[in-house]
């Protein structure tokens, strides 16, 4: 029968690998037969040397070994198995029954000892027990191997985790920390063992970390986390943000791959620096202008709202300024957006250097800036700040090879006098800026209630676009008189806008808006085509020699299709090119000179003449006057007003006329209103004039039908009768 211990499930006997070793072949065969009767399968070896060969060839669970064998005995086999670290169990079956032999065999590694002749039942029981032990040892070895592999896997996962993994003792000191701390913070993990977690926390978050640890030291069931800034070692130079998560404390005496977790805290620290930087960048994008890095409109409004609340509580004033750059669009269109962007950055830096640390400068959009002065004494103090801003912009900006000039128009609104709320203050500052911009000068203006009746820029822009679509603009003409020959030499086309609410508006009321919105392109071309058609009809009705002067914005001249559109307008109207004079401003000379020369030269080759309007009021360069195909200088009305009976009060006019003669250019004087002015100009040899003395701007039909008669006046000594060709 098959002996078996209670509670042990013996594996299938046929699967057991057994080796029988004995030099008595008859006894060896009898033993094999006995085992086969009980379903065991066994190999046999007729001596110690044969046994060693068998053991080298395959592994066995059990070896039944005789001690007394010639040449190679049983103890030699036992020592061989020990040397080769074979895991099979050995039961000695020997006739040698002395205590010394038994002790020696057991010392050499035998599991049990049976004497010959053996009792079959005793031998079978011993075999079963030995196989059971071998089975248990194999299972234990397998489990131990699995545990070791599991522990290695856990350690590999922990040490290669992207997070810092740590264990704290009940005092909050590190009892374990993985090697990730070296990669992220530069510390050697061994140097941190026994150190408190708080030693790694940045001073900014030390109080928050201490409170958090105090909470998690108490038993809790939920995972708790906190965001902390951890201080790196000297090898790492930047602070890093971490999300520290702590798991519930382990139960008493619970064992883990990392040892006893009694009263310990297991946690992780995940590096969230990139996420925090991304969040900060997104927040920065939401509230800042990326080009200038100034606060944007949203952040500016938020700060103004807070400043209003603060001023209301303390009973103080604040100022809001609306700053709009002058001439920026000309530079941006002429030199490109890259230069324009660099100019905006330089402007913002210069403005920042002018204001106080507590003030808020923002880019409101395009070339518009806003400024918040949280505490100002009065409008005069705000004006002083505005003047400092204008002074800072008066110096040229060196952008690459370009020396650029920009100015600004500034509107100011004071809380609480000019507005009680955010939108009201910004709107009133915008209106004041727009009123100042209409003056076409660099300056500032404080809002007053009378400006409230002005057309709001947005509404005016909408009305302007609608007027263009419906062609509601009208042309009037200013006579240009040759006083030497007492004849009407030509007319200058002037545009008027009959606004349905504000009445008839002159150019000063809407040209700045047209230039800002670039609607001036359509307006000037519409004006040119209409004037060519109307004056062209006069040519057919007996006034063939009448000249036409049309004023053009620099934006129109600088546009790429300027030459083509002028040519097309002349071709469509059939107007004689040599009777057309296009008036440009001195500001155009400050832009791209080469492109301007090429464009004006292309039109001049057709016979079209060019005049510098309001000469002397801008920043003219005499070298450009020689390069450009300019035929006429128009003396501004501000110089004409200085002419009186005393000749020394008109020195500027004298200088301009002399310069024009030297450059072989014609001269037209604007703003002639008195006989004294007319006669003095004639005495200088400058007979081409226009002004109220000869009639106010009117329709072309009114001018033609009205007979021309010059007022009589005395003659100045030295008056020149021979005049150069004019206009």
Mean pLDDT along residues 314-321: 93
Spell out the residues 6+ positions from residue 93 whose beta carbon is closer than 8 angstroms to its own.
22, 31, 64, 65, 66, 114, 115, 116, 118, 123
Going from the C-alpha of 670 to that of each of 492, 638, 666, the distances in angstroms are 11, 9, 13
Buried b or exposed e, range 3-28, using 16+ CB within 10 angstroms = eeeeeeeeeebeebbbbbbbbeeebb
Decide if 696 contacts 672 (C-beta within 8 A).
no
Segment (H or E) for 491? strand 487-499
Q: For residue 284, is pLDDT > 90?
A: no
Q: For residue 156, is pLDDT > 80?
A: no
Query: What pLDDT is recorded for position 410?
Result: 94
What is the pLDDT confidence band of residue 713, given thresholds at 50, 70 and 90?
A: very low
Strand, coil or helix: 712: coil
d(CA 540, CA 290) in angstroms, rounded, equals 59
Q: For residue 450, is pLDDT > 60?
A: yes
Mean pLDDT along residues 259-265: 58
What is the pLDDT confidence band of residue 517, given thresholds at 50, 70 and 90?
A: confident
- The torsion defined by the Cα of 219, 224, 229 and 232, in degrees rounded to 10, comes to 60
| DSSP letter assigned to residue 389 | H
Query: What pLDDT is recorded for position 534?
Result: 92
d(CA 123, CA 3) in angstroms, rounded, equals 10
Q: For residue 318, is pLDDT > 90?
A: yes
Residue 391: Cβ within 10 Å count: 11
N-terminal to C-terminal alpha carbon distance within the chain = 140
Rg of the chain on CA atoms, in Å? 52
Of the candidates 123, 159, 138, which has an alpha carbon nearest to the alpha carbon of residue 89?
138
Q: Token pair for residue 314? A: 């303390």
- Residue 246: strand pairing partners: 224, 267
Q: For residue 5, is pLDDT > 50?
A: no
The helix-helix angle for 48-57 and 74-83 (nearest 10°) equals 30
Of the candidates 567, 579, 565, 575, which has an alpha carbon nearest to the alpha carbon of residue 491?
579
What is the pLDDT confidence band of residue 180, given thresholds at 50, 70 and 90?
A: confident
Q: How does pLDDT run across 385-419, given as a tens digit for each residue?
A: 999 999 999 899 999 898 888 989 999 999 998 88
Across the chain, what does the average pLDDT equal? Answer: 83
d(CA 79, CA 32) in angstroms, rounded, equals 24
Q: What is the DSSP string of 666-700?
A: EEEE----SHHHHHHHHHTT--EE-SGGG---B-H
What whole-number percentage of the chain has pLDDT above 90?
A: 25
Spell out the residues 6+ positions from residue 600 whose beta carbon is closer than 8 angstroms to its own.
557, 584, 610, 628, 629, 630
What whole-number percentage of the chain has pLDDT above 70?
A: 87
Q: For residue 263, is pLDDT > 70?
A: no
Going from the C-alpha of 420 to that of each of 242, 318, 381, 428, the distances in angstroms are 45, 11, 19, 11
Decide if 425 contacts 352 (C-beta within 8 A).
no
What is the pLDDT confidence band of residue 626, given thresholds at 50, 70 and 90?
A: low
**Domains in the chain: ranges and CATH:** 13-142 (3.40.50.2300), 161-277 (3.30.450.20), 288-454 (3.30.70.270), 472-705 (3.20.20.450)
Of the candidates 39, 47, 83, 41, which has an alpha carbon nearest to the alpha carbon of residue 62?
41
Buried b or exposed e, range 140-169, using 16+ CB within 10 angstroms = eeeeeeeeeeeeeeeeeebeeeebbbbbbe
- Chain centroid to Cα 201, Å, comes to 31
- Chain centroid to Cα 98, Å, comes to 94
Q: How does pLDDT run across 452-504, given as a tens digit for each residue?
A: 545 456 677 888 888 888 898 999 999 999 888 888 899 999 999 998 887 88
Q: How does pLDDT run across 553-578, given as a tens digit for each residue?
A: 888 888 888 999 999 999 999 999 99
- Spell out where 327-426 has E strands: 360-365, 368-376, 397-399, 402-404, 407-415
Query: How deeply is 285 buried, as exposed, middle or buried, from its count of CB atoms within 10 A (0-12, 13-18, 19+)?
Result: exposed
d(CA 697, CA 478) in angstroms, rounded, equals 5
Query: What pLDDT is recorded for position 329?
Result: 81
Query: What pLDDT is recorded for position 448?
Result: 85
Give the residue, 619 or 694, on which the prediction is more confident: 694
Q: How does pLDDT run across 342-393, given as a tens digit for each residue?
A: 999 999 999 999 999 889 999 988 899 999 999 888 999 999 999 999 999 9
Give the residue, 523 or 462, on which the prediction is more confident: 523
Query: What pLDDT is recorded for position 569?
Result: 92
d(CA 22, CA 576) in angstroms, rounded, equals 136
The helix-helix angle for 520-540 and 507-516 (nearest 10°) equals 130
Which phi and psi (to 5°) does residue 164 adopt?
Answer: -75, 125
Q: Token pair for residue 559? A: 């546009």
HSE of 206 in the Cβ direction (CA atoms, 13 Å)? 8
d(CA 633, CA 610) in angstroms, rounded, equals 9
């Amino acid at each position: 029968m098959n002996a078996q211990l209670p509670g042990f499930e013996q594996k299938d006997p046929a699967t057991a690998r057994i080796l029988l070793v004995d030099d008595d072949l008859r006894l060896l065969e009898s033993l094999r037969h006995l085992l086969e009767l009980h379903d065991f399968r066994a190999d046999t070896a007729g001596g110690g040397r044969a046994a060693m060969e068998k053991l080298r060839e395959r592994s066995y669970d059990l070896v039944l070994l005789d001690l007394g064998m010639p040449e190679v005995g049983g103890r030699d086999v036992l020592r061989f198995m020990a040397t080769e670290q074979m895991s099979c169990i050995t039961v000695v079956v020997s006739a040698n029954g002395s205590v010394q032999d038994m002790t020696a065999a057991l010392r050499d590694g035998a599991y049990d000892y049976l004497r010959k002749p053996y009792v079959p039942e005793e031998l079978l029981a011993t075999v079963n027990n030995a196989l059971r032990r071998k089975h248990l040892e194999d299972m234990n070895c397998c489990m131990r191997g699995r545990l070791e592999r599991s522990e290695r896997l856990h350690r590999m996962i922990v040490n290669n985790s992207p997070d810092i993994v740590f264990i704290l003792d009940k005092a909050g000191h590190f009892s374990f920390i993985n090697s990730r701390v070296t990669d992220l913070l530069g510390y050697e993990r061994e140097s941190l063992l026994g150190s408190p977690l708080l030693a790694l926390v940045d001073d900014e978050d030390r109080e928050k970390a201490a409170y958090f640890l105090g909470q998690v030291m108490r038993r809790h069931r939920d995972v708790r986390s906190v965001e902390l800034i951890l201080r790196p070692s000297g090898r790492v130079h930047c602070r890093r943000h971490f999300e520290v998560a702590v798991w519930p404390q382990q139960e008493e005496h619970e064992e883990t791959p990392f040892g006893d977790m009694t009263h310990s805290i297991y946690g992780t620290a995940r590096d969230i620096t990139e996420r925090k930087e991304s969040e900060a960048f997104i927040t920065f994008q939401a509230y800042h202008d990326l080009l200038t890095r100034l606060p944007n409109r949203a952040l500016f409004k938020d700060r103004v709202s807070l400043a209003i609340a603060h001023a209301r509580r303390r009973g103080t004033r604040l100022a809001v300024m609306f700053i709009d750059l002058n001439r920026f669009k000309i530079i941006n269109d002429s030199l490109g957006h890259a230069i324009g962007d660099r100019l905006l950055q330089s402007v913002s830096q210069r403005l920042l250097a002018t204001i106080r640390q507590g003030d808020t400068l923002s880019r409101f959009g395009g070339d518009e800036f806003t400024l918040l002065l949280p505490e100002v004494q009065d409008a005069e103090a705000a004006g002083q700040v505005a003047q400092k801003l204008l002074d800072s912009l008066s110096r040229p900006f060196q952008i690459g090879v370009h020396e650029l000039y920009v100015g600004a128009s500034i509107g100011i609104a004071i809380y609480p006098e000019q507005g009680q709320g955010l939108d009201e203050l910004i709107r009133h500052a915008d209106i004041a800026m727009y009123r100042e911009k209409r003056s076409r000068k660099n300056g500032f203006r404080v809002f007053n209630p009378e400006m409230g009746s002005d057309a709001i820029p947005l509404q005016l822009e909408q009305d302007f676009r609608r007027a263009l679509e419906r062609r509601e603009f009208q042309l009037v003409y200013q006579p240009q008189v040759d006083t030497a020959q007492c004849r009407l030499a030509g007319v200058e086309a002037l545009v008027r806008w009959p606004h349905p609410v504000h009445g008839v508006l002159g150019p000063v009321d809407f040209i700045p808006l047209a230039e800002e919105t670039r609607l001036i392109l359509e307006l000037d071309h519409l004006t040119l085509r209409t004037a060519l058609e109307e004056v062209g009809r006069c040519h057919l009705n007996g006034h063939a020699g009448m000249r036409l002067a049309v004023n053009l914005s620099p934006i129109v001249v600088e546009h790429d299709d300027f030459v083509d559109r002028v040519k097309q307008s002349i071709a469509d109207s059939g107007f004689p090119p040599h009777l057309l004079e296009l008036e440009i401003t001195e500001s155009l000379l400050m832009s791209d000179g080469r492109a301007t020369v090429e464009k004006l030269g292309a039109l001049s080759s057709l016979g079209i003449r060019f005049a510098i309007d309001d000469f002397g009021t801008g920043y003219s360069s005499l070298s450009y006057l020689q390069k450009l195909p300019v035929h006429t200088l128009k003396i501004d009305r501000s110089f004409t007003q200085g002419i009186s009976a005393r000749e020394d009060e008109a020195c500027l006019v004298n200088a301009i006329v002399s310069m024009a003669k030297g450059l072989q250019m014609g001269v037209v004087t604007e703003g002639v209103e008195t006989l004294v002015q007319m006669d003095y100009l004639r005495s200088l040899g400058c007979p081409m004039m226009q002004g109220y003395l000869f009639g106010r701007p009117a329709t072309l039909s009114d001018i033609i039908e009205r007979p021309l008669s010059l007022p009589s006046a005395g003659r100045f000594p030295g008056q020149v009768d021979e005049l150069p060709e004019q206009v």
